């Protein structure tokens, strides 16, 4: 397994899996993880598959849970955690044996997902979050999940994030990849959802997702889904399922705050200026509408 330790300016390393030049999170529970990840584009889809796509720490758990409840037409907690249906963290045999309709999730760019899904025009739910909040959340994730073996400081982490020296690579490359896909195939069934809209108008956004998925349901059902998928309720129900031995101090922070604008508690003026300069250059031709303030 090509495990690499990627350093920052201070020499603090992040332990990652590198597959064909792309960094991934390591996963010791998947035999021959490298080969499984490399084979993902060849996996065979079903017409009713739903793919949840988001860069790490952008609400993947949240959106996967909402979509799973809608597709099952049951306002009840989904058995298992998000990782049990995440393309990069399961074997192909697991993917093949998931019951239909399959709701799977990924942090991969569009060219790294099963080609058969795209050929069949399987529905895609694509979540985008303010990358300043993403960077703060990702830093805490890397710091607290022991598999990363990371102890670096925030001031050295932000340049790492901006370069893309993290699992799943650059936020900019990821976001532009999916934006380019949408522009190239404008009639593809993909629904773009902004994290901030889901946070501020959850019922409205869940109704929008249900309509896109062609799920027939009433307002009472949608309200029940919204209540179960509230961040604090998910934190209460889901965090006890995490293996505490995987986390620093024996306490999971998979669900940390889930708030909008926490980046303001972390960024200095200089860091904000640096981020804004990089963002302006990398996203100068982008049509993605990021909201940096609530």
Cβ neighbors of 115 (< 8 A, separation 6 or more) are 41, 42
Contact assessment for residue 167 and residue 188, using Cβ atoms and an 8 Å cutoff: no
pLDDT digit string, tens, across residues 229-269? 887 887 776 665 555 556 565 455 555 566 889 999 999 99
As given in the structure block, the two tokens for residue 178 are 């999916």
pTM to 2 decimal places: 0.92
Report the C-alpha gap between 124 and 212 in whole angstroms.
10
The mean pLDDT value for 185-203 works out to 96
Active site residues: 107
The predicted structure's pLDDT at residue 240: 58
Of 73-87, 182-196, 219-233, the range with the highest mean pLDDT is 182-196
**Regarding the domain delimited by 3-282, which CATH topology (the fold level of the hierarchy) does it fall under?**
Rossmann fold (3.40.50)
Of all residues in the chain, the percent with pLDDT exceeding 90 is 75
The predicted structure's pLDDT at residue 243: 54
Report the C-alpha gap between 206 and 200 in whole angstroms.
12
DSSP string, the chain: --EEEEE-TTS-EEEEEEETTEEE---TTSTTHHHHHHHGGG----TT-EEEEE-TTSSHHHHHHHHHHHHHT--SPPSS-GGGGBGGGS-HHHHHHSPSSPEEEE---GGGS-HHHHHTT-EEEEEE--HHHHHHHHHHHHHHBGGG-----HHHHHHHHHHT-STT--HHHHHHHHHHHHHHSTTS-EEEEEHHHHHHSHHHHHHHHHHHTT----HHHHHHHHHHTSHHHHHHHHGGGS-GGGBGGG---SS----SSGGGGT--HHHHHHHHHHHHHHTTT------S--
End-to-end CA distance of the chain: 42
The predicted structure's pLDDT at residue 237: 65
Contact assessment for residue 137 and residue 258, using Cβ atoms and an 8 Å cutoff: no
Residue 123, Cβ density class (10 Å: 0-12 exposed, 13-18 middle, ≥19 buried): buried
Which of 184, 206, 131, 181 is CA-nearest to residue 161?
131
Mean pLDDT score across all residues of the chain: 90
pLDDT digit string, tens, across residues 81-138? 777 899 999 999 999 999 999 999 999 998 899 999 999 999 999 999 999 999 999 9
């Amino acid at each position: 397994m090509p495990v690499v330790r990627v350093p920052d300016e201070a020499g603090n390393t992040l332990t990652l899996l590198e597959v064909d030049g792309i960094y991934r999170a390591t996963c010791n529970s998947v035999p021959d993880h490298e080969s499984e990840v490399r084979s993902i584009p060849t996996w065979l889809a079903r017409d009713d598959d739903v793919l949840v796509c988001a860069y790490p720490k952008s609400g993947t758990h949240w959106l996967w849970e909402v979509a799973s409840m809608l597709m099952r037409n049951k306002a009840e907690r989904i058995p298992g955690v998000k990782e049990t249906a995440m393309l990069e963290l399961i074997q192909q045999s697991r993917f093949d044996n998931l019951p239909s309709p399959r709701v799977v999730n990924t942090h991969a760019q569009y060219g790294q997902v099963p080609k058969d899904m795209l050929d069949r025009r399987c529905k895609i739910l694509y979540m985008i979050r303010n990358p300043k909040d993403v960077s703060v959340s990702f830093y805490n994730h890397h710091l607290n999940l022991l598999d990363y073996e990371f102890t670096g400081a925030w001031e050295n982490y932000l340049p790492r994030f901006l370069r893309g020296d993290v699992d799943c690579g650059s936020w900019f490359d990821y976001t532009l990849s999916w934006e380019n896909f949408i522009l190239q195939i404008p009639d593809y069934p993909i629904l773009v959802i902004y994290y901030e809209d889901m946070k501020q108008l959850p019922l409205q956004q869940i109704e929008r997702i249900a309509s896109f998925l062609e799920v027939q349901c009433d307002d009472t059902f949608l309200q029940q889904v919204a209540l179960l998928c509230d961040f604090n309720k998910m934190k209460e129900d889901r965090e006890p399922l995490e293996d505490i031995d995987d986390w620093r101090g024996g306490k999971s922070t998979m669900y940390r705050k889930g708030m909008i604008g926490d980046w303001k508690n972390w960024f200095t003026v200089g860091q904000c200026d640096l981020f804004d300069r990089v963002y302006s250059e990398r996203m100068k031709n982008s049509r993605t509408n990021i909201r940096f303030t609530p």
